[in-house]
């Protein structure tokens, strides 16, 4: 069985799936650019050679994937990554906030042979709109690379691109404001940034560093040095950076929103969205914690490894499963979800 792997941006989680599938199947990749003529030619050349088109996110790259899959009678698998399933009017986030993005998502999710969600939260978002089988497979991280190393320092880390959308969505303003309550603690925001960084610099004290985009080796060292990882988000479909930090034994602090409790369970601390003072108080506790970092890594190893995701993808993409187009065996029921959220075995 041959797969055409379609993507617009090769984010870390997209690259992980490309590697996972390439370990098991012959895979051709196709980058969808803004040049639709060149992209269309690539589809015409590559689609006849494969059995399945696998695409991340229900944007225009998925619309093209569905059209060419139907034209050549191939199976089409779509991964819902979060934005394409969301509708968050309070922060203006999600594909269903605009008619044309909503139209693309509706077309893709209705026509796909298999829809995968990266969390139970995202699956439920989709089930509110679509009466079809949607399969949940958690994102994974490489726990052989993301490992604890050396002594933890009094560093509080969050990893995110700084842009206008993420200021609210990822709680970056709250993160920066919390630093002012803890002048003796080093805060680090790692990630690329645009002009929106000036909003944060206007709130920042001397104890916060904006690194910009880091090479992977430097980012890994930062995870390993940091004692606490903060994900103060309004919405997260999963939280890959959070899981990477947990794998490096950072103590996680999260909001009680979206899929974040699925990732952390009982291994971390919880705060209310937008409350900088509460976040600062909780960080003070987390810096002194001697257990939750170890428990956080154990949870990632148990639930969120790349190996686990690869096995589930292999099973789903088998000829037998795709031909039936009926996927229920891996979906979490309510009792399973309660176990995951509460950190049970």
Spell out, as residue ranges, where the chain has pLDDT lower than 50. 326-345
Whole-angstrom distance, CA of residue 7 vs CA of residue 33: 9
How many Å apart are CA 219 and CA 225, to the nearest integer?
10
Task: State how far the Cα of 57 lies from the Cα of 272, in Å rounded to an integer.
Answer: 29
Please state whether 73 falls in left (phi above 0), alpha (psi between -120 and 50) or beta. Answer: left
The answer to whether the CB of 21 falls within 8 A of the CB of 54 is: yes
- At residue 228, the pLDDT reads 98
The whole-angstrom distance between residue 159's C-alpha and the CA centroid of its chain comes to: 12
d(CA 129, CA 17): 26
pLDDT of residue 308: 96
**The pLDDT value given to residue 323:** 56
DSSP codes of every residue in 144-189: TTS---S--EEEEEEE--BSHHHHHHTTHHHHHHHHTT-TTSEEEE
Q: What is the DSSP letter of 85?
A: G
Phi, psi of 73 (to 5 degrees): 55, 50
pLDDT of residue 318: 82
Q: Give pTM, 2 decimals.
A: 0.90
Contacts (Cβ under 8 Å, ≥6 apart) of 181: 276, 277, 280, 281
Alpha-carbon distance of 251 to 218, in angstroms, equals: 19
Query: What's the pLDDT score for residue 321?
Result: 60
- Say if residues 109 and 130 touch (Cβ distance below 8 Å): yes
Beta strands 208-212 and 186-190, pairing class: parallel
Integer angstrom CA distances of residue 283 from 36, 93, 190, 212, 265 = 48, 27, 18, 23, 18
Phi, psi angles (nearest 5°) of residue 308: -65, -45
> CA-based angle 171:238:267, to the nearest 5?
85
User: What pLDDT score does 325 carry?
Assistant: 55
Domains defined along the chain, listed by start = 3-140+306-341 (3.40.50.2000), 153-302 (3.40.50.2000)
Which tokens sit at 133? Answer: 């089988």
Quick: pLDDT tens for 169-180.
999 999 999 999
> Mind listing the pLDDT tens digit for each residue in 69-125?
999 999 999 999 999 999 999 999 999 999 999 999 999 999 999 999 999 999 999
Q: What is the helix (H) or strand (E) element at residue 271, kind and residue range?
A: strand 269-271
Dist CA 343 CA 329 (whole Å): 22
């Amino acid at each position: 069985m041959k797969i055409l792997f379609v993507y617009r941006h090769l984010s870390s989680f997209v690259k992980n799936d490309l590697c996972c599938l390439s370990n098991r199947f012959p895979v051709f990749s196709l980058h969808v650019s803004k040049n639709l003529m060149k992209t269309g030619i690539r589809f015409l050349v590559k689609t006849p050679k494969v059995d399945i088109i696998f695409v991340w996110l229900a944007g225009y790259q998925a619309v093209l994937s569905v059209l060419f899959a139907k034209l050549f009678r191939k199976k089409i698998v779509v991964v819902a990554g979060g934005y394409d399933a969301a509708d968050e009017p309070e922060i203006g986030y999600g594909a269903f906030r605009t008619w044309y993005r909503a139209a693309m998502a509706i077309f893709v999710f209705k026509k796909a042979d298999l829809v995968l969600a990266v969390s139970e939260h995202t699956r439920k978002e989709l089930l509110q709109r679509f009466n079809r089988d949607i399969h949940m497979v958690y994102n994974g991280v490489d726990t052989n690379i993301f490992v604890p190393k050396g002594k933890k320092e009094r560093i509080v880390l969050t990893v995110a691109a700084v842009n206008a959308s993420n200021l609210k969505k990822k709680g970056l303003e709250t993160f920066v404001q919390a630093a002012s309550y803890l002048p003796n603690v080093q805060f680090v925001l790692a990630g690329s940034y645009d002009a929106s960084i000036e909003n944060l610099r206007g709130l920042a004290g001397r104890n916060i560093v904006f690194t910009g985009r880091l090479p992977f080796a430097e980012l890994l060292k930062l995870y390993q040095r940091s004692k606490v990882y903060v994900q103060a988000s309004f919405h997260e479909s999963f939280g890959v950076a959070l899981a990477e930090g947990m794998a490096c034994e950072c103590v996680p602090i999260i909001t009680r929103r979206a899929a974040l409790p699925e990732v952390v369970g009982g291994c971390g601390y919880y705060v209310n969205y937008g409350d900088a003072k509460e976040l600062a108080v909780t960080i003070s506790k987390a810096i002194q914690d001697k257990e939750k970092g170890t428990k956080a890594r154990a949870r990632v190893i148990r639930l969120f490894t790349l190996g686990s995701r690869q096995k589930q993808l292999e099973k789903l993409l088998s000829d037998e499963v795709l031909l039936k187009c009926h996927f229920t065996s891996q979906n979490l029921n309510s009792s399973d979800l309660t176990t995951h959220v509460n950190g049970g075995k």
